[in-house]
Amino acid sequence: MFAGPSMAAFLLFVIIPFFYGIYLTMTNWDGIATTKTFVGIQNYIALFHDTEFWGSIFLTFKYVIAVVILTNVIAFLLAVLLTSGIRGESFLRAGFFTPNLIGGIVLGFIWQFIFNRVLTTLPVFPEKSMLGGEISAFWAMVIVQVWKESGYMLLIYIAGLVGVSQDYIEAAKIDGATSSQILTRIRLPLMMQSFTICFFLTLSTTFKVYDLNLSLTEGGPYNSTKMAVMTIIDKAFTYHEYGEGQAEAFAFFIIMLIVALIQLKVTSKKEVEA
Amino acid sequence: MKRKVLAMLLTAAMAASLMACGGGGDTSAESTEQTAGSEADTSSEETDSKEADESEQAEAPAADDGGSDYGGITLTFLNSKPEITDAVKKVTSAWGEAHGVTFEVTETSNPNDTLMANYQSGDAPILAVVDDANVLDFAAEHLLPLDGETWEGYTDMGKYVDGKLYGFPLTVESHCIVVNKAVVEENIGREFAAGDYKSIEAFEALLKEMRENGMETPVAVLPDIWSMVGHDFYPFYAYQDGTGEGAFALVDAVKGGKDIFEDELFYNHADFMSRVVAEYNINKADPLNADHDMTVLALAEGEVGFLLNGTWTWPELESMGASKSDDYTIMAYPNGSASAGKVMAAPTKYIVVDNSNATEEQQAAAKEFLNYLVMDEAGQKALIDDLGIVCAFTNNPNIPSDPINKALMQYISDGNTVTYLPLAFPSDYRDTITPAVQKLMTGEGDIRALADVLNDYWKNNDPNGR
C-alpha cells in the first residue's frame, strides 16, 4: 500500500520505457517517422561491426578504471585525515563536498575556463591547454570527475570510519596495536560496506558520464574523448539511427550490469559482521 | 543474504535507468544541446512568451494589417537562431496582439534534437526556425506543405522536398571572411578592396604585409566545430562551378573513384587553411581551445583584421562594441576558381509549420503570419530592421542597417554569389570529418589524411537534397 505510488512511478518511468526501449532495438526507427518497421536482430548485428561504438566502450573502461581508483583512494585518504582530529574538519568536509552540488554541464564549463584560460597563463603550465591533446584531454576529464566525485565518497567513508565502535578501537589500543594496525586490521574490515557503496556509485556514475563529456571536451580533440554515452546519443539523435543507437544502449546496459554485479560480489565477500 | 539480494536489485534498477532514459521521449539532450549550425555556443533553452520588453513593444512595427482575429489562440515558436530571439519575440508579440494570438517563443541551438524530442512527446512547436537539413528530415512526416501561399511568388529560395514547398526562407547568409576594414586600411596604409584578394597568393601576401607592419596575426579562426569544420571546410564544394550542381558533381566523381586529393580546389583550400590561415591565426598556439567570445572580440577591438565566420556575426560584434557606422565588410574565401571573389550565400534558416499537432486554426494563423512578413509593409520592415537579416524576398525594399549585411546585399545585387545548395550533407558528415580537419589545423594531420576520410565517406554515403 505504502509502496504503491513509488511502484507506479517506477513502473511508468523505468520498467515500461525499459521494455519499450528493447522493442525499439528491433526496429529501424529514425526518431522522426511515425511508423517503425520491425527488423529483428539486425541492429544487434550492426552494433557488433560498429568499431566506433566498441572504441568508445574501450575508452570508457579506461576512464572508469582511472576515475574509480583515484576517486576512492583520494576520498578514503581525505576521510582518514578528516577524522583524525585536525582543525577545521567540518569546514573542510563541506568544502570537499561542494563540487558535488554543481551540475555536470556547469562544472564542465568552469573547468574548461580553468584549463583554457587560467592554467595556460601560469608559468608552470604549458601554453597549450590540457584540452588540446588527446592524452591530456582524457586526463583532464579524469581530474574533473575525480574532483567532483571524491567529495561525495569522502562523506560515505567518514561515516564508515566513525561508525566503527570505539570498543574495538579501545580494545586494540590496550592490546598495543599501532594506529596503522588499527586502521588496517580493525577499521578497514568493519567499514567494507562503505567501499561496496562507494565503488558501486563511482562505477555507475562514471560509466554513464555525458554532461561533463559534452561541456568540457565535446568529445575532442579529434573525437579522442568521445565516451560511450555520447557515441550512443549521437547515433540515436544526431545520425537519426535510433534503433541502432538503442541497441547500443542496451548492449552498454548489459556490460554495465555485468561489471556492477562482479564488483558487488567481490566487495561484498570482504564485508564482515561486527 | 537479504542485503545481497537488495544490493543486486539496486544494481539492476540503477543500470536499467540508463536504458529507460534512452527509451522514449527523452529530453535530456534538449537541456544539453551542442552548438550547431550558424549559432552561438549557448546550451540554454529559454522559454518566454509575450513578456517582451514593454519599451521594445512600444517601438514595434504596427501589425494591424486588417487580418483575422484568432480569439486568443496560442502559437508556439521554436527559434534556432539565438541571436535574434529578442527580435522574434518583439515581432511576434506585435503581430499577435493585433490578431488575438499569443506567441510562446522558445530557443534552441540544436533544432534537430529539440524537434525530435518535441515530436516524440507530442508537443511540437507550431512554427519553427530550422536548418536546411531539418526541413529535409522532418518534411514528409511532420511539416505542412506551404505551396500556393502568397509569399511563394516573391522568392525562389523556398525549401522544396519532393516537389512540395515546406520551408519559408527566413534569412540569406554568407559563410565568408568578415573584415574590419578600418583596421586593415590603417595597417596597410591604403584602401582595402576585397576584389584585390581573390587568389590565395594575393591574400597571403596581404597577411604577410600586415605582419611586417606590426600585426603579427591578422586572422581569427573560431575554434567551434560548427565553424571550423562546418563552415571553413565547405568552400571547395561551392566553388566547383558556383552552383549546387557543381557540388553534386564533385561528390559523384568521388563516389565514382576520383581521389579528392587530386581536386585542385579541394587541395588548394585545404592548403590555404592549414598553411596560410593556421600560420596567421591569432589562436595559432592552440586553435582548438581558444575562446569563442575572445576570438570575435579580437575583430571588434581591431587586434585582427579578418574573422573566418559569416554574416550572422553582426549581433555578436555589435554586443562587443561595434557600431553600425563602423567600417566592416565581407570577402570571399580566396581560391583559384572561375568564381573567385564571389561569396557563398544561401538561405540558411527556414520557418516551417507543424502538420502533426497543430490545429487548422493554428496553421491558418501561422500561414497568415508568414504572409504578413512578406506582403505587409510593417512585416517587411520587421524582417530587416528588427530581425536584422538579409531577406530572401524580392518585394522587400528595405536595406539592412549594419555594414556586414549591407555588404552581402551588395554582393547579391551584383550577382557575386555562389552556393553548394541544394546539396545537403548527411547528419554524420561533420562528425566524421572533424578529427581529420582538427588535426590538419593543429599540424598533427595532413591533407592526404583528410582526403582519405572524404574519399571513404562519400564512397559509403549519399548526399541529401538532390
**Model confidence at B441: pLDDT above 70:** yes
Q: Are the beta carbons of A245 and B289 separated by less than 8 Å?
A: no
Same domain (yes/no): B133, B242: no
B299 in a structural domain: yes
Residues A137, A130: Cα–Cα separation, whole Å: 6
Residues B55, B373: Cα–Cα separation, whole Å: 22
Handedness of CA B276, B277, B278, B281 (dihedral sign): positive
B26 in a structural domain: no
Distance from CA of A241 to the nearest CA of B (A): 10
3-state secondary structure of A209: coil
In this structure, what CATH number is given to the domain that contains residue B300?
A: 3.40.190.10
Task: Decide if B122 touches A, using CB distance below 8 A.
Answer: no
Q: Are the beta carbons of A264 and B7 separated by less than 8 Å?
A: yes
Query: By mean pLDDT, which of B327-341, B418-432, B438-452 is the weakest?
Result: B418-432
Chain A residues 140-179 with CB within 8 Å of chain B: none
Average pLDDT over residues B250-261: 97
Same domain (yes/no): B239, B316: yes
Kindly report, residue by residue over B199-243, the tens digit of the pLDDT.
999 999 999 999 999 999 999 999 999 999 999 999 999 999 999
The number of distinct structural domains making up chain B is 2
Chain B residues in contact with A203 by the CB 8 A cut-off are: none
Kindly report, residue by residue over B363-380, the tens digit of the pLDDT.
999 999 999 999 999 999
Average pLDDT over residues B245-262: 97
Same domain (yes/no): B339, B383: no
Same domain (yes/no): B157, B195: no
Which pLDDT score, from 0 to 100, does residue A183 have? 87
For residue B150, give the C-alpha cell.
502568397
Helix (DSSP H) and strand (DSSP E) numbers for chain A: 14, 0
Same domain (yes/no): B303, B369: no
Which pLDDT score, from 0 to 100, does residue B275 have? 96
Query: By mean pLDDT, which of A19-23, A56-60, B156-160, B305-309 is the weakest?
Result: B156-160
Chain A residues 74-113 with CB within 8 Å of chain B: 105
ipTM: 0.84
**Model confidence at B60: pLDDT above 50:** no
Pairing of strands B219-221, B306-310: parallel
Residues B143, B128: Cα–Cα separation, whole Å: 10
B240 in a structural domain: yes
**Model confidence at B46: pLDDT above 60:** no
Residue-wise burial string across B446-456, b where 16 or more C-beta atoms lie within 10 A, e elsewhere: ebebbbebbbe
Residue-wise burial string across B15-30, b where 16 or more C-beta atoms lie within 10 A, e elsewhere: bbbbbbbbbbebbebb
Q: Look at residues B358, B334, B351, B335 and name the one whose alpha carbon lies nearest to residue B391.
A: B351
Distance from CA of A9 to the nearest CA of B (A): 13
Kindly report, residue by residue over B22-35, the tens digit of the pLDDT.
433 333 333 333 33
**Ranges of each domain in chain A:** 51-269
For residue B277, give the C-alpha cell.
590561415
| Strand ranges across the sheet with B127-130 | B101-107, B73-79, B127-130, B346-353, B164-173, B159-161
Q: Which domain holds residue B85?
A: 41-173+347-393
Kindly report, residue by residue over A219-229, the tens digit of the pLDDT.
989 999 999 99
Which pLDDT score, from 0 to 100, does residue A273 have? 66
> Strand runs (DSSP E) across chain A, as ranges?
none
3-state secondary structure of A34: coil
For residue B282, give the C-alpha cell.
591569432
Q: Are the beta carbons of A221 and B141 separated by less than 8 Å?
A: no
Chain B residues in contact with A32 by the CB 8 A cut-off are: 116, 119, 137-138, 141-142
B277 in a structural domain: yes
Same domain (yes/no): B332, B320: yes
For residue A37, give the C-alpha cell.
518497421
Chain A residues in contact with B141 by the CB 8 A cut-off are: 32-34
Which pLDDT score, from 0 to 100, does residue B65 have? 58
Task: Decide if A31 touches B, using CB distance below 8 A.
Answer: yes
B29 in a structural domain: no
* CATH 2.40.170.20 for the A51-269 domain, yes or no: no
Residues A222, B453: Cα–Cα separation, whole Å: 13
Which of A127, A253, A268 is closest, CB to CB, to B18? A253
Residue A130 near residue A137, CB atoms below 8 Å: yes
For chain A, which residues score pLDDT lower than 50? Answer: none
Q: Are the beta carbons of B13 and A238 separated by less than 8 Å?
A: no
- Comparing A103 with B152, the larger pLDDT belongs to B152
Which pLDDT score, from 0 to 100, does residue B29 have? 32
Task: Decide if A133 touches B, using CB distance below 8 A.
Answer: no
The pTM score is 0.83
Task: Decide if B137 touches A, using CB distance below 8 A.
Answer: yes
